[in-house]
Structure 1
Amino acid sequence: MKRSRLLALLVGGVFCLAVMSLYRVLEQMQGAEPHRRGDAPDEQVDEDLSRLQQKIDRLEQLLSDNNQLVARLRDSLLQRKVSWERERGGANGSSDSTYSRADRLPGCRLAKEMKDGAGGVQLLDVYDLLSFDNPDGGAWKQGFEIGYRGDEWDNQPLELFLVPHSHNDPGWLKTFDSYYQDQTRHILDNMLLKLSEDHRRKMIWAEISYFSKWWNDIDEQKRATVKRLVGAGQLELVTGGWVMADEANSHYFALLDQLMEGHQWLQRHLGVTPSSGWAIDPFGHSPSMTYLLKGAGLQNMVIQRVHYAVKKHFARQQTLEFLWRQSWDSSPHSDIMCHMMPFYSYDVPHTCGPNPAVCCQFDFHRLPGGRVFCPWRVPPEPITEQNVQERALLLLDQYRQKSQLFRSPVLLVPLGDDFRFVESSEWDAQFTNYQKLFDYFNQHPELHVKASFGTLADYFDALHRRLSTAGTSLPTLRGDFFTYADRDDHYWSGFFTSRPFYKRLDRTLQATLRATEILFSLTLAEMRRFSVDGRLAADFPAREHFQRLTVGRRNLALFQHHDAITGTGRDPVVVDYGTRLFHSILNLRQVLQSSAHWLLLLDKSQYHHDQSKPFLQMDDVIWAQDALPQKTTLTLSAEPRSLIVFNPTEQLRTSVISVTVDSPDARVVDAETGRPMAAQISAVWAEPSQVSTEAFQLSFADELPPLSLVVYHVTKAAAGSTPRARYTIHRRGDPPTIHNEHFQVSHPPEANAPLLLSNKHIQLWSSWETGLLQKLRLQSGLLRQLQVQFLWYGTRTGANQEKSGAYLFLPGEEGPQPYSSSEPPLVRVSRGPIFSDITSCFRHFTHTVRLFHLDGHAGRSLEISNMVDIRSEVNRELVMRLVSDVANGNRFYSDLNGFQMQQRRTLAKLPLQANFYPMSSAAFLQDSASRVSLLAAQSQAVASLRPGELEVVLDRRLQQDDNRGLGQGVTDNKLTASLYHLLLEDRAGGAQVRGGAWGGSVLIIDCIKDGRSNRP
């Protein structure tokens, strides 16, 4: 197949793929679901593939319509450009000095003119306002005394909904499968029986990963019962995600993936779409998630883990219920109604009202004789005719106090906890005793309370109705709820980095899944032209590949659970997650190889699938779930070896492609045109000062069209014909002597002059002694001091003090300490025509800064890679810090889920650990002259503790539990890779900041981020 023809197919397919993704959410495709145990009927999968073909037919028509729309938009933009140039006096006209460049640009002016809605709350301003002094609030320790007169409900009775729930973690102290066998399946089995006994009983369920697994185990009669309960409103599926996802570390791609998997399952099997979200356990909350929920059709949501001081402030202001709006939005288009639970936890003692000692008495799972008791030493009592009045009035007092924190007399009271309602006896105890209390309330109108079991749909329907009738409005809120603290100065900023190896593996699976879905979809589209009687080619394993894709999506979705990607599960659970990610990557690679094979073949009749002998091989292999990828060595000869490169992005990109070969003499040509590619041979270092004699790195650069498969031929070349990198080795005091027959290696004498690398865009200076970056200069002449430093954080040492653990970051009083080593680092400088780099080899990490000799974005940024190993350390966290002369004050920006940038403010009134925030993919700091951006291939904690500084936590090894339920430290560290791009920009003018969000253009950041995450 000619490249032009293949490229046309691929580029055309991107729109198809994008719309197909939207169809998954909005139209809820009705295809069959392959079951994990392989029990999906073949006919069901065939039907699904047939439907996929039908959608491709429809989408081809949409593609034609889209091309016409793009043409019209292009013409409109050209007209606007002419109009704009006329307004400012022509393209070469003089500018008005009273306006900045940002004011003159139409896009920036539009952003500047957008205003916040009336009565809006900006969380950044709330943080500035709060004192964070944490006085004792009495019964509600983190709050205040709540009073009421008693007549507040005379005209508007209190309408109470008690919402039974069971929070089932898909892995935490046990693996997903162990939890299911031991607890979850019993909860759901009992749910069918106990809800069916009384139509007044209700329940909500969130985790579709468990629900779908249970559905596969039950018979048709029980499935019919489930449908009846859902239809009657007794059982509500809330959020509808595969898991209750973490909102700090997860990328929006994976968040959307887990949401679509759950919603598709619900639509396919139950025909329902959730209307309300339920996020009671993620450790902080992001507006990116609310944006996805709103786009998926949800109108309401409940959140719980918010800083206790923020909860207290919102409770005083009666703003615990609000309309959560995106920071860039000046209209209510993105609004979603949000209910913030006011108290410490989502368990029963902290949900009925402000006094946990009283509320615990109404958790009837804790009745005397059971395995669970009330820590306040006052146990629950069974409700009888003799005590019902006293018990009801005691409980009603808590309900009334809680209702004073809200603007409506409609009250939400959750009833549940982790893995509740396992045993039949708990169902009976809770529902029977509460029904007696409700009967008493409802039979005494003088109490002005109407109580019942309910779902979130019941609650929000009543809330909307009461607010509308009373003409009550809710405030609008913008911002995010990071960083979370549950008490004292215990900030949950540790999990932003915990288990970084698996955070990086998560992104590897995500990128592999995205690329595979694209190629598989395009293969099916192309295959129709070679089908017989409408059936797909018999030898292409479409059914098996579809199952592999489904399992890959679900394993990625499972890992977004708030005890998975967070690194807060027990060691065996982490291994289970890692194994799932690892096997999914391997399986998706099979689909990738097979799909690329089909697309590249000119004669499709020659296609033959043999998984034991795949036609294509990947350029690296992963041997285990806890191992880094190892490059495959390509054996060269006079016969050309084909190298296929897939650009999985929708942009034209210039990329450096690197493979490992067995000879230092190699030649690369474009297979279609025969064009020779400029190349570079670099050494493969087995040890810091040991060069491999059997493997060499071959690198070349090319411009890759969007979504293209490009074929190159690699052959062995004449000796010495391929340019080779030149090396200099530095080490203070005792430099090693390295001799190699293939590379020029020099050992210059010690000097204090900095090391210098440059291309046409950037000059960089690094320390001769350490190899670490010192300053950068742009082609424009902008010079910035920009140093890279490494530091250690320890943890608190007091006997009665909490210490850092998987969740918490509680550094010692000494603060960060400069990294030091007993031996000076070995520094290697490599110079070549494709790239040059400086590598510093320290005891605990190897740090490389690479400069590409390219045009475009790749040549304007530095690639930074770290290989970290802190397995020998005790209670230490390793940090990479950038120190610049950027005058950013106390403000910097970090991204939320790779979706939007959020302004951060470093506050002196907060402890050090409170000023760390999640960074999913990017952070930057800026002043009027320049911007420094750090773009990351993995999620981790980020902070700017002093002006001009930006630091990220690379890894953490902690011996102890931090008393948040895990029961262990974090000591299963691996050899871990981290990857970044460092970008210095000259700011001519200033983009606007509005509402705490970034209002200007960050297109160059987005391009580099996308290219870094989705490499060829």
Structure 2
Amino acid sequence: DQYYMEKVQYILDTAVEELVRNPDRQFMFVEQSFFQRWWHQQGSEVRGIVKQLVKEGRLDLTVNGGWCMHDEATPHYIAMVDQTAYGHQLLMDEFGISPRIGWQIDPFGHSATQGSLLSQGVGFDALYFARIDYQDYGQRIKTKDLEFIWRPSKSRGKESQVFTGEIIDHYCPPRHFSYGNIGNEIQDDADLHDYDVCGEVDQFVQNAQMRGSATKGHHVFIPMGCDFEYDNSLRWFKNMDKLIHYVNQDDRLNVLYSNLSYYTDVKRAEGLTWSVKTDDFMPYASADHDYWSGFFTSRPTLKRFARVANILLQQVRQLDAVYQSHHSTELVSLQRAVGLVQHHDGLSGTEKQSVAYDYALRLNDGIIDAEKEMNEVLFVIGEKEPFRFCLMANTSVCDVSTQNDEFDVLIHNALARTSVETISIPITHKTAEVQVVTGDATVRSQDVFVALPVHPETQVAPYSFVFSVELKPLSTVRLLVKQKTTDGVDVDDILHSTTDVAPIDDSEGSEVVVLENHLIRAEINKATGSITKLANKKKNIQIPLSLDVAYYQAFQGGNGARSGAYAFRPDSNKTYPVTNATSDGIPTGSLPGVKMIDLQTGDSTDSKSVPRVAFKIGSWVTLEYRVNEDDEFLEIEWTVGSIPIKDNKGKEVILRFDARDSIKSASKIYTDSNALEFMERVRNHRDTWNLTLHNNQDAVAANYFPITTGAYIKDTNRQLNLVTDRAQGAASLADGQLEVMVHRRLLDDDGKGVGEHLNETESVYDSATKTQVTKGLVVRGNFFINVDSAEDGMRSLRSKMESQFFRPLTVFRKAVTSADEQAKLPWLTVNEFPPNVGLTTMQELSKQCLMVRLSHLYAVDEHATLSQPATVDFSKLFTVKNAVVSEVTELTLTGTKPLPSSSAESSRFLWKTTDESNGASPRSLPVKGTSVVLQAIEVRAFRLCFGKSFVDADVESWDDEEGDSIGGALLDLAEII
């Protein structure tokens, strides 16, 4: 809001005025979150002028066009597509245009998903950015390789490649030609003493020639703009008019206002041969010792909140579609908030604290509106009394379940396949039971466990009621939970009554506690709280495994790079056990040890109980291990904080799994790219240049990579899988090890622009003293790990990634009478999807039509059968009342218009390259009737209509024009003569 009020509105006001003055001028504007606010404040006269400027290509809105310029390391690909699609839809609705150029100039490294799905996949002809590793940049500028073909998807190959350009000397103008600064104006009055047209021309020509010497072909572009410039566009355009005039008079260059669409077209027309890059650009380093791998974890609670909000958005969209509610306008605020937080200074955790609060507030407001939307849908189907979200149930907080002995639970399965889900609900009594009221579901087990509070000083529900339930695809069921009144318990007493388990009674073999179901078995050391063994019972695989909770101490010496919101720089490659630092932050002679906490209540209602055990590690870390029914993964709930800092040393906390005695990982770890394809990472290695590491600290930070949902290590026989609940940084610094950074608390700024220490705090209510207490942020999260065979490891990993992201929507209300138990049947039912196909997005378009995105869940060569092409017949998967699927139209991934023909589409991306092999590069196969074949890791969008052939008025306005004539970016195009 502050940016808009102080700068952005004046940028657009004055830029439009200046474009009208001179028909040669062009201007580019990118983020729709700002543009749409300005647009809706304009009257009809200004709107008419803007539409004409857009039509002429002089106001260029076809670059990027998303709601924001999203981060690339931390978002889930569904959120990336959603926010891009939202911006593109607004541009289509208002101007009838489709963006064709990617402009990701400021994210801190670039992901394979951005280079494939979010470039060619959304219709971009080219992608331009400004941040790559300084060593990579230094090599590329010498070899004229700053422009190239990026082909990061091994599954899609040439089908998803994109022409890519790294901007020379960052994305701002050449020094001295930034006309927003007073003193840089061109003085062309020969009667004045500071007249220096010749000097200005020479400087510009020299800069253009420098760029030309590092660029293939005869054309270079020079960006003429920067952060928050052009609030006085007259100053810029007046001086650029002069610059263009005098440089062209000089006759060494041909300079003109231009745009990236035109630049890309002339580059392609030159018929040059380009190198091919197949890996990604993670992590980014800007200098020696300056690896921007800290932000992969920064602000972990915001990262989780954004993930939850994104999932809620998808879930409520599904409800709208399944029950044909026609009320989806309530979701706009959540859609905008989820889109906005994907910003490269949002979800990344690299904003000021006040801005982080603002993101959270917007998400919360959007969730409140989504709750209203959900209840409007449920009202339509007969649920007259509203339900409530309980977003803090994982911290034992839920007003509905803790204030009512009987309450209703409504669960919507967001997966397009039958699933067994474990539901955990905070309750106040020691005994409870659940029964199905409406819908097709089977309760498989139920039990009550002691709940561990995030903050021991706060009063929360003392128990968790845990049950597993089998749910049909995209089904909605209502359950009734009844608590049986018993004496309450003081949670603080539970925690403080636990005793150190040492000495161990070896005679009875009590040194470990075992958790198991029919699929997995885990042994936990009672004295250390660490896993000792993990077994896959179905595959008869068992490995020794340990889990350490430790921290890196942040570098604090000298004037060089330091750990901050962006950067990660430890003071050495050494880690310290969390028991080394007390809650006061200063080690003492009597350090807190490890305490085992028995979570069993002794009142199990089912022999198939869900076993769990917890450990207090030192004074500020808790681990809770869980084995859930029908789950082949061990769940680990970790609680970290407050991180002690009274020793005046920043700390970056990790959980490290060590299987060095069983998995020979050959210096490799595999990390997901925005939850889509996995990237092979080799320790101390980069594919396109020889990585130079200057010390042991660099060897840690340079080997940290972003994970969005998962990572794994493997050898020829076994694979250790990890699934996480939010974006984090991960590394394998020794063979057989996999570590994840979960929390950071720092006392220095890294000098990248935040201007604040990453020292998050929170205010909690101390129920004993009845006062508010400010303390360091405490974070709770979940890991899921399993071991599998090398042949089948990706099946278990991919399946868990999908089910963990699309957790069921679970909402609550006080129990109501049975009057409305006969709820209305859904308009739409979904049958079991193929095991390698996911329903990524489903939303209502009109009375009879839906937009769906489908994802092939496996990359090429991940699994012998599941990586094969998958056939989807919509007429068999989607059933509606008294109707059939009558029309299937493939859309662009953003859903703005029908997909152009395959031949026309492929011709737009014809580039000569040094590598024309790179696998089979399977083409997308067209829709045939109601069926389509998805290739490995493909994500595609479709419009489904039911009943009679239906043509929506909005769709009739779609056209297939490529938008090649639409352009406009404030750039100088210099032709080297």
- Short-chain TM bin: 0.7 to 0.9
**For the residues of structure 1 that align with 2:317 and 2:506, how far apart are their CA atoms?**
51
**For the residues of structure 1 that align with 2:245 and 2:13, how far apart are their CA atoms?**
27
Which residue is equivalent to 1:85? Answer: none
Is residue 190–residue 422 contact of structure 1 (8 Å, CA) maintained in 2? yes
Report % sequence identity.
25
**For the residues of structure 1 that align with 2:485 and 2:398, how far apart are their CA atoms?**
28
Is residue 304–residue 341 contact of structure 1 (8 Å, CA) maintained in 2? yes
SS of aligned partner of 1:262: helix
1:896-931 deviation digits (Å, cap 9, x = unpaired):
111111111111853221110111110100001110
Task: Give the 3 Å change call, closer, same or farther, for CA 330–691 of structure 1 in structure 2.
Answer: closer
1:334-373, aligned counterparts within 5 Å?
A: 334-343=160-169, 345-349=170-174, 360-368=175-183
**For the residues of structure 2 that align with 1:825 and 1:980, how far apart are their CA atoms?**
20
Among 418, 421, 425, which residue is 1:652 paired with? 418
The reply on whether 1:301 has 2:157 as its aligned counterpart is: no
1:167-202 deviation digits (Å, cap 9, x = unpaired):
xxxxxxxxxx11111111011100111111111111
Is residue 295–residue 566 contact of structure 2 (8 Å, CA) maintained in 1? yes
Is residue 619–residue 659 contact of structure 1 (8 Å, CA) maintained in 2? no
**For the residues of structure 2 that align with 1:675 and 1:947, how far apart are their CA atoms?**
43
Among 471, 480, 487, which residue is 1:704 paired with? 471
1:929-954 deviation digits (Å, cap 9, x = unpaired):
11001101100111111111111111
Is residue 454–residue 639 contact of structure 2 (8 Å, CA) maintained in 1? no
Which residue is equivalent to 1:509? Answer: 309
The reply on whether 1:977 has 2:780 as its aligned counterpart is: yes
Is residue 254–residue 557 contact of structure 1 (8 Å, CA) maintained in 2? yes
Among 431, 437, 461, which residue is 2:265 paired with? 461
Q: Which amino acid aligns with 1:364?
A: Y
1:744-759, aligned counterparts within 5 Å?
A: 753-759=511-517
- Structure 1 residue 665 displacement after superposition: 3.6
What is the TM-score of this pair, normalised by structure 1?
0.69
**For the residues of structure 2 that align with 1:931 and 1:635, how far apart are their CA atoms?**
45
- Structure 1 residue 692 displacement after superposition: 9.1
- Structure 1 residue 685 displacement after superposition: 4.2
The reply on whether 1:824 has 2:593 as its aligned counterpart is: yes
Q: Which amino acid aligns with 1:979?
A: N
Which residue is equivalent to 1:1014? Answer: 806
Is residue 483–residue 491 contact of structure 1 (8 Å, CA) maintained in 2? yes
1:487-523 deviation digits (Å, cap 9, x = unpaired):
2220101111111110000111011111001102222
Is residue 396–residue 451 contact of structure 2 (8 Å, CA) maintained in 1? no
- Structure 1 residue 659 displacement after superposition: 2.5
Task: Give the 3 Å change call, closer, same or farther, for CA 191–953 of structure 1 in structure 2.
Answer: same
Among 913, 916, 923, which residue is 2:701 paired with? 913
1:509-556 deviation digits (Å, cap 9, x = unpaired):
011111001102222x2x5xxxxxxxxxxxxxx5xx533201101100
Task: Give the 3 Å change call, closer, same or farther, for CA 622–753 of structure 1 in structure 2.
Answer: closer
**For the residues of structure 1 that align with 2:505 and 2:460, how far apart are their CA atoms?**
20
Deviates more, 1:509-518 or 1:451-460: 451-460
Is residue 887–residue 926 contact of structure 1 (8 Å, CA) maintained in 2? yes
**For the residues of structure 2 that align with 1:292 and 1:566, how far apart are their CA atoms?**
18
1:193-241 deviation digits (Å, cap 9, x = unpaired):
1111111111111111000000111111111111111111211111001
Task: Give the 3 Å change call, closer, same or farther, for CA 674–510 of structure 1 in structure 2.
Answer: closer
Task: Give the 3 Å change call, closer, same or farther, for CA 880–719 of structure 1 in structure 2.
Answer: closer
Task: Give the 3 Å change call, closer, same or farther, for CA 230–716 of structure 1 in structure 2.
Answer: closer
Query: Highest relative contact order (Cα 8 Å, sep 6+), 1 or 2?
Result: 2
**For the residues of structure 2 that align with 1:693 and 1:248, how far apart are their CA atoms?**
35
Is residue 429–residue 486 contact of structure 2 (8 Å, CA) maintained in 1? no
The reply on whether 1:784 has 2:543 as its aligned counterpart is: yes
Q: Which amino acid aligns with 1:758?
A: E
Among 876, 884, 892, which residue is 2:659 paired with? 884
SS of aligned partner of 2:611: strand
**For the residues of structure 1 that align with 2:444 and 2:794, how far apart are their CA atoms?**
32
SS of aligned partner of 2:321: helix
Among 582, 591, 594, which residue is 2:364 paired with? 582
Is residue 397–residue 461 contact of structure 2 (8 Å, CA) maintained in 1? no
Which structure shows the bigger proportion of residues in helix conformation?
Answer: 1
Q: Which amino acid aligns with 1:906?
A: R
Q: Which amino acid aligns with 1:451?
A: V
Q: Which amino acid aligns with 2:220?
A: L
- Structure 1 residue 332 displacement after superposition: 2.5
Which residue is equivalent to 1:664? Answer: 430
Structure 1: unaligned runs, 5 residues or longer: 1-176, 350-359, 369-378, 528-541, 602-606, 609-613, 721-725, 736-745, 992-1000
**For the residues of structure 1 that align with 2:225 and 2:457, how far apart are their CA atoms?**
60
Deviates more, 1:235-244 or 1:671-680: 671-680
Among 788, 806, 828, which residue is 2:565 paired with? 806
Task: Give the 3 Å change call, closer, same or farther, for CA 255–660 of structure 1 in structure 2.
Answer: same
1:951-991 deviation digits (Å, cap 9, x = unpaired):
11111111221111211111124221211111111235xx8
- Structure 1 residue 416 displacement after superposition: 1.3
Among 223, 240, 249, which residue is 1:414 paired with? 223
**For the residues of structure 2 that align with 1:798 and 1:657, how far apart are their CA atoms?**
48
**For the residues of structure 2 that align with 1:926 and 1:277, how far apart are their CA atoms?**
35
Task: Give the 3 Å change call, closer, same or farther, for CA 889–598 of structure 1 in structure 2.
Answer: same
1:397-408, aligned counterparts within 5 Å?
A: 397-408=206-217
1:44-93 deviation digits (Å, cap 9, x = unpaired):
xxxxxxxxxxxxxxxxxxxxxxxxxxxxxxxxxxxxxxxxxxxxxxxxxx
Task: Give the 3 Å change call, closer, same or farther, for CA 689–576 of structure 1 in structure 2.
Answer: closer
**For the residues of structure 2 that align with 1:716 and 1:564, how far apart are their CA atoms?**
41
1:1-80, aligned counterparts within 5 Å?
A: none
SS of aligned partner of 1:514: helix
The reply on whether 1:732 has 2:500 as its aligned counterpart is: yes
Among 229, 235, 241, which residue is 1:429 paired with? 235
Task: Give the 3 Å change call, closer, same or farther, for CA 200–918 of structure 1 in structure 2.
Answer: same
Larger radius of gyration: 1
Is residue 728–residue 828 contact of structure 1 (8 Å, CA) maintained in 2? no
Is residue 555–residue 581 contact of structure 1 (8 Å, CA) maintained in 2? yes
1:610-667 deviation digits (Å, cap 9, x = unpaired):
xxxx4334455689xxx99546425677xx7543221111121011223234443433
- Structure 1 residue 793 displacement after superposition: 0.9
Deviates more, 1:684-693 or 1:488-497: 684-693
1:864-905 deviation digits (Å, cap 9, x = unpaired):
111221353241111111111211021110001111111111
Which residue is equivalent to 2:4? Answer: 180
Among 486, 503, 507, which residue is 2:286 paired with? 486
Among 616, 621, 638, which residue is 2:387 paired with? 616
- Structure 1 residue 324 displacement after superposition: 1.6
Q: Which amino acid aligns with 1:884?
A: A
- Structure 1 residue 754 displacement after superposition: 2.2
Task: Give the 3 Å change call, closer, same or farther, for CA 982–413 of structure 1 in structure 2.
Answer: same
**For the residues of structure 2 that align with 1:273 and 1:228, how far apart are their CA atoms?**
16
Task: Give the 3 Å change call, closer, same or farther, for CA 462–674 of structure 1 in structure 2.
Answer: closer
Which residue is equivalent to 2:99? Answer: 274
1:569-609 deviation digits (Å, cap 9, x = unpaired):
1111111111111221222122223323433x2xxxxx75x
**For the residues of structure 2 that align with 1:691 and 1:486, how far apart are their CA atoms?**
43
1:437-481 deviation digits (Å, cap 9, x = unpaired):
322333344x2x21011111221222222x23xxx2222221210
Among 865, 870, 875, which residue is 2:642 paired with? 870
Which residue is equivalent to 2:746? Answer: 958
Is residue 207–residue 241 contact of structure 1 (8 Å, CA) maintained in 2? yes
1:887-966, aligned counterparts within 5 Å?
A: 887-907=664-684, 909-910=692-693, 911=698, 912-966=700-754
Task: Give the 3 Å change call, closer, same or farther, for CA 1008–674 of structure 1 in structure 2.
Answer: closer
Is residue 401–residue 407 contact of structure 2 (8 Å, CA) maintained in 1? no
Is residue 299–residue 337 contact of structure 1 (8 Å, CA) maintained in 2? yes
